[in-house]
């Protein structure tokens, strides 16, 4: 899976108006995050390091005690266990996040919706 077309991965809605697509390896996870205007990823923290780049829109991002409105091309790094939240402002937002180690909760969702092996076209119904 070295090359991925994000449009071939079904989005998973983790909260109303917030969708992710999370391909991953053993120790690294990508998260293609789409947020509708006004949606909020509430303040939370996790043991994973997180980096990201805003690809589209404007995002009010809080990391620790610092709040900034970031625009496309902005990069950010969030150390493990630091509280953070995000709010889409002025339209929809697209973010590419990277997690290390992988987020087990997202991996479980991804694996639930993405079969690991394609179904055989020659097999009939199983009894």
- Low-confidence residues of the chain, pLDDT below 70? 1, 111-127
Residue 23 CB neighbours (<10 A)? 16
pLDDT for the residue numbered 1: 64
pLDDT tens digits, 5-25: 999 999 999 999 999 999 999
Which CATH architecture does the domain made up of 19-113 adopt?
Sandwich (2.60)
Nearest to 6 by CA among 19, 15, 47, 35: 19
Q: Phi and psi for 17 in degrees, rounded to 5?
A: 80, 5
pTM (global) more than 0.95 = no
């Amino acid at each position: 899976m070295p090359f991925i077309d994000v449009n071939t991965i079904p989005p998973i809605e983790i909260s109303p108006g917030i969708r992710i697509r999370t391909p991953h390896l053993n120790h690294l996870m990508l998260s293609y995050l789409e947020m509708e205007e006004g949606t909020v990823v509430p303040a939370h923290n996790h043991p994973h390091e997180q980096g990201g780049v805003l690809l589209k829109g404007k995002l009010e991002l809080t990391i620790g005690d610092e709040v900034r409105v970031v625009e496309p091309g902005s990069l950010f790094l969030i150390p493990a266990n630091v509280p953070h939240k995000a709010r889409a402002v002025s339209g929809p937002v697209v973010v590419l996040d990277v997690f290390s180690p992988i987020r087990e909760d997202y991996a479980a969702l991804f694996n639930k919706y993405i079969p690991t092996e394609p179904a055989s076209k020659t097999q009939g119904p199983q009894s």
